[in-house]
Copies of this chain bind each other. A is one copy, B any other.
């Protein structure tokens, strides 16, 4: 028997705030929000759990930092030079897809006070609202409505992989949701049951953008009206 034993896992680089955040994102993606514990994270980084506190303040800060990273990446891919409506679609879809890939980020975006990631989305949307020629007084409202819808709806649409036992794909996810709505009491939920059929058929991204366009129509109509 040779002297070589099974090598213990070795840390290749020194610990750093950046590496910790990257590992946290991986862990969150793999195991969900509950999967992120300091012990599990330290295990992946081959260190002690206490070591992490040298680089980050606490779990909250880590979650917010992880969200900032994934949102920054998403926004970096959105080109700046489209016309306002197209640009807003692109920002919206960028956020939509990031939250779909990292469902845990949605909860962080709506924290109070707003994390930087949220402010960056708001800023990018706001500039396009300005470019649409919205009057000064209405810009805040318009940007708020758009941002609120983008984040809220992205969250609702994100498949949380670990919720009910394996959700193979989006189609089944939608079917389950529709079935739940169809099962509601007919007297108490006539409207919801009625639109459940649409829920089953719809394409997420198309439906999501339809909501954006509805708001954009409202913005355009408000700006041209006399009120």
**A interface residues (Cβ-Cβ under 8 A, vs B):** 107, 110, 112-114, 119, 122-123, 126-127, 129-130, 137-145, 148-149, 151-153, 155-156, 158, 160, 163, 177, 180-181, 184, 188-192, 195, 198-199, 202, 207, 210-211, 213-222, 225
Contact = CB atoms under 8 A, between A and B. Distances in A.
B211 A217 contact: no
Contacts of A202: 140
Q: How many copies of the polypeptide does the oligomer hold?
A: 2
Contacts of A160: 112
Nearest to A219: B214
Contacts of A218: 214-219, 221
A123 B185 CA distance: 12
27 contacts: A107-B107, A110-B110, A112-B160, A112-B163, A119-B181, A119-B189, A122-B192, A126-B192, A127-B191, A129-B191, A130-B191, A139-B195, A140-B195, A140-B202, A141-B214, A143-B191, A143-B195, A148-B152, A148-B153, A148-B211, A213-B222, A215-B218, A216-B218, A217-B217, A217-B225, A218-B218, A218-B219
Query: Which of A137, A180, A191, A202 has most chain B Cβ within 10 Å?
Result: A191
B145 A215 contact: yes
A144 B110 contact: no
3 nearest A-B residue pairs (beta carbon): A218-B218, A126-B191, A148-B152
Query: Which of A113, A151, A218 has most chain B Cβ within 10 Å?
Result: A218
A219 to B, nearest CB: 7
Contacts of A156: 110, 112, 114, 148
Contacts of A113: 163, 177, 180
